[in-house]
Chains A and B, each alone.
Chain A
Amino acid sequence: MKQELTNQELLDRYVFSVKALLARDRADDIAAEIQSSLESVVEDRTTQLGRELSLEELSAILRQSGHPMAVAGRYRDRPFWGLSPEVLRVYRFTLGAILALIFTILAVKACYVFPGRSNLASFLLRFGRELVFGTVIVIAGVTVIFAAWEYLEFKFRFWENWDPRSLSPVPSWTPPSIPRRQPAVQVIGGIAGLVFLALALFYPPLYWIWGGGGHFDLSPAAYAMRLPLWLIAVFAVVQPWLNYTRFASAEWRRFVRVALYIAGLAVAISVYRAGHFLVAGTHWNASRNAASLATLNRMISGTAVLACVLLSIICIHELRGSMRLLGGRHDSGH
């Protein structure tokens, strides 16, 4: 026999649904506050009516409070492009679902195709190219659709007509949360990345063995850029580490970031202008690998163009922030 839902269970379901969508490090705190606030509303309404609320009345309060996706979206720190917090959750969910589908299809296809391929490098290049293009097209497509949706002010109707009673019950068992070791992961991952990059830039034959067809080398233009490239990587990796020090909110960090983005932009432009980043090394089997090397160089150039665009956008954003900071100081100085 189906058990009747109680007011407390309904409230718990709602708070749990919001909590499940919040950032893990703040979820408990925010959920506790939402629960406390809703209990205050219920208490107030109960006092006014002089009786316990019915399930319908509590559902109306929860509907007025907002769909869990919309509520969780409002606790996001920074706005994401032009999307409002209410739409952001649905956007991320849709994007995640479509990307997961695309990756699954590509992975299945790769497993099917790989056994017939003898050249691992060309297979990896093809797989990587499909992965990058698939991801870019999906992100661009979904973002444009949602931006247009927002711009045209379509409403998510299910948020207006949703029924809190249809929310999933709170599971009786929740998996223990794994403590995050973010600083340690960042530091260890960063050092490993820097060591790998140093070896790859200063001794590429060690890593880039090309399916038995010889190895490739950095072009003269790339050789000339390897030290600045590595130093930029060092600064980029160290930047997030500072979040765990007393310099976490230091104002000068914004200017360091601007300098870093400008340097990155300069390197990305140089890579693009150089035309090719990699050349054939010793024992190179040209007939077997020429096409793959050309594809790899095109991918590096394409990545450089993307990096230029992204770095320009971030740089403009940071510069505007820096100007505001300087402007604020100037104003307060008078």
Chain B
Amino acid sequence: MPVDDTQFENLRLELRRGCLVLAVLAKLRSEYHGYALGKALSESGLQIEENTLYPLLRRLESQKLLISQWRMEDKRNKRFYRLSEEGQMVLKRLVEEWRGINGAIETLLGARVAPGRKSA
């Protein structure tokens, strides 16, 4: 892989990392088991590898943001995750933060595009 692509890949991963936590927390307002959650995120346009998703779920659970429960579904035992009360509060604050950052970035990107439009 050329050097520029590697740099881009690192930056892309860095950008995605924080977003994934927010996406997982947002999705887990409803209850999902790991595989279904991965699929749901993928269908929403956020691909996440299982090897990243499951350790992330465990980390969020150990931070008491998620609660999990083993339950039978389709004759198989599955672990279901959902947001805890603490997780809901954290999600609310993170969403506010996200909207602030998103707005600022959009403004910055808009300001960058606007002069080009004028000159065209």
A66 partner, pick from B6, B36, B51, B78, beta carbons under 8 A: B51
Query: For window 4-59 of chain B, which residues contact chain A by CB distance below 8 Å?
Result: 6, 33-36, 50-52, 54-55, 58-59
Chain A residues at the B interface, C-beta cutoff of 8 Å: 30, 32-34, 36-37, 39-41, 43-44, 65-66, 70-71, 74-75, 77, 153
Closest chain A residue to B77 by CB distance? A36
- How many residues from B make CB contacts under 8 Å with A? 19
A37 with B34, Cβ < 8 A, contacts A70-B51, A74-B51, A74-B55 known = yes
Q: Is the CB of A32 within 8 A of B77?
A: yes
Question: Does B76 sit within 8 A of A, measured CB to CB?
Answer: yes
A75-B58, A153-B6 are contacts. A36–B33 as well, Cβ < 8 Å? yes
Within 8 Å by CB of B76, from A39, A65, A75, lies A39
Give the complex CA separation of A39 and B50 in angstroms: 13
Within 8 Å of chain A (Cβ to Cβ): is B99? no
Contacts of B33 in A (CB 8 A): 36, 40
- Residues of B that sit less than 8 Å from A by CB: 6, 33-36, 50-52, 54-55, 58-59, 62, 70, 74, 76-79
Q: Which residues of B contact A74 (CB under 8 A)?
A: 51-52, 54-55
Does A36 contact B76, Cβ atoms closer than 8 Å? yes
Known A33-B34, A65-B50, A74-B54; 10 more pairs at CB < 8 Å: A33-B54, A37-B54, A39-B76, A65-B51, A70-B51, A71-B51, A74-B52, A75-B58, A77-B62, A153-B6
Contacts of B70 in A (CB 8 A): 32
Residues of B close to A75: CB separation below 8 A: 54-55, 58
| Smallest CB gap from B68: residue in A | A33
Q: Hey, which chain B residues are within 8 Å of A40, CB to CB?
A: 33, 35-36, 76, 78
B78, A36: Cβ atoms under 8 Å? yes
* Min distance, Cβ A66 to any Cβ of chain B, angstroms: 5
Judging by beta carbons under 8 Å apart, are B6 and A37 in contact? Answer: no
Pairs across A and B, CB under 8 Å, 17 listed: A30-B54, A30-B58, A36-B33, A36-B34, A36-B35, A36-B77, A37-B50, A37-B54, A39-B76, A40-B33, A40-B35, A40-B36, A40-B76, A40-B78, A70-B51, A74-B55, A77-B59
Q: Complex formed: what's the CA distance from A36 to B32 in Å?
A: 13
Q: Which 7 A-B pairs have the closest CB atoms?
A: A40-B35, A74-B55, A37-B35, A66-B51, A74-B51, A36-B78, A33-B79
A153 proximity list for chain B (CB < 8 A): 6
Q: How far does the Cβ of A185 sit from chain B's closest Cβ, in whole Å?
A: 23
List B contacts of A65 (CB < 8 A).
50-51
**A residues less than 8 Å from B55 (CB atoms):** 74-75
Instruction: Report A209 CB to chain B, min CB distance, Å.
Output: 49
Contact A36/B79 with A41-B35, A153-B6 known, Cβ cut-off 8 Å: yes
Residue of A with least CB distance to B36: A40
Smallest CB gap from A65: residue in B: B50
